[in-house]
Amino acid sequence: MKDNATWKIKFFGSRGSIPVCETDFQWYGGNTTCIYLEIIQEAHIFAGIIDAGSGIRNLGKDFLKGEKNLPDNIFMFFTHFHWDHIQGFPFFAPAYNRDQHITIFAPIEGKDVHDLKQIFEVPMQEEYFPVKLDEMGAKFNFFTKGDLNKFIDLTKLDNLLINQHDHPGKAYGYRFEHQNKSIVICTDVEHKEGIDENLVKFSQNADLLIHDAQYTTDELTKYRNWGHSSYEQAIEVAKKANVKQLIMTHHDPDHNDEFLFEMEKKCMRIFPNSALARDGLEILL
């Protein structure tokens, strides 16, 4: 098949745990996790959002301003449901458009569509937010792992692969494949007993790997069982998996711009085609 699809990836949130906004946190940004993936192939536009941290608010504003194409159906993929990965959802402007379709997917096992919908309904109860999920306006559809094949058909992707990894309460990585290109998104992952070889296999030969790197190696000993990786571990996965490009994300809220800038330089010396994610970073495949 002729490869004529254009992939665009943009980070709208690259911070972990909690948003930050101090003056020395401006370059890499303070919004929590939200990654936008767009695949343009002639008339086909796939718009995928990975997680809905606070960064999704600015993505919604870009849609409204016309800076991004607004497809009939927006696909939302969730790695897990810790607060920093869902807190921006009520502030996503297209969700209030009655003509908008939003399809939400999470590979949670042992739960059905009703359970998945309830995950979003509870934080939007009147005790927490003035607008209920069913009152937002958009037409929501929910899919879990049991409907994966049907969901893939809707996205028109060639393939969507899922990997469960170690994180409190479980978290999932995604591998998006279309026309001989692939990207892997794996945040909130902990490598407890050496590098997770399943993740290495999952990431093999990817064009782009987006990997958790919240801590330094020294910090890992303090935060064991918190469910995150170090910069060195992210690089080791990238090397073992022979990926073409590595972006490290989910920055600790205590790591300011100066710290991250120095860490980025160190990482690039070890793995040249690597960088730290920052709010607003765009990548073209």
pLDDT single digits (tens) 153-206: 999 999 999 999 999 989 999 999 998 999 999 999 999 889 999 999 999 999
pLDDT reading at 69 higher than 90: no
Which segment of 69-73, 92-96, 213-217 scores lowest on mean pLDDT?
A: 69-73
In 3D space, the residue among 55, 32, 15, 51 whose CA is nearest the CA of residue 257 turns out to be 15
Which DSSP symbol is given to 7?
E
Dump pLDDT digits (tens) for 22-68: 999 999 999 999 999 999 887 778 999 999 999 999 999 999 887 67
Q: What is the pTM of this model?
A: 0.95
At 231, which helix (H) or strand (E)?
helix 231-241
d(CA 119, CA 231): 31
pLDDT at residue 111 in the model: 65
pLDDT at residue 113 in the model: 74
DSSP class per residue in 10-72? EEEE-B-SS----GGGSSS--PBPEEEEEEEETTEEEEEEE--STTHHHHHHHHHHTSS---S
Dump pLDDT digits (tens) for 228-271: 999 999 999 999 999 999 999 999 999 999 999 999 999 999 99
Average pLDDT over residues 118-133: 94
d(CA 96, CA 125): 16
pLDDT at residue 1 in the model: 41
Average pLDDT over residues 135-156: 92
List of domains in the chain = 6-284 (3.60.15.10)
pLDDT band for 110, please (50, 70, 90 cuts). Answer: low
pLDDT reading at 20 higher than 90: yes
Edge-to-edge strand list for the sheet holding 246-249: 159-165, 171-178, 181-186, 208-212, 246-249, 274-276
pLDDT band for 3, please (50, 70, 90 cuts). Answer: low
Average pLDDT over residues 110-125: 86
